[in-house]
Structure 1
Amino acid sequence: MPERYKFLLVDDEPDIKEIYEIFLSNLLGKDFQFQFFLNGEECMNYMNNNCTPDDKVFVITDINMPIMDGFTLLKNLKESFRGVEVAICSAYDTNDYKTRGKDLGAIEFLPKPVDFERVASMIEERITA
Structure 2
Amino acid sequence: MRELRIRAGYETLGELHRASGVTVATLSRIESGVQIPSPKTLNRLAPFLKVSVEDLLAAAGYLPEKEEDPNEAAARTIEAAISDDPELLEFWQELVKRDDLQLLFKQVKPLTPKSIKKIIKVIKAIEDAEATED
Give the TM-score, by structure 2 length: 0.24
Greater helix content: 2
Higher relative contact order (CA 8 A, sep 6+): 1
Greater strand content: 1
Give 1 or 2 for the bigger CA radius of gyration: 2
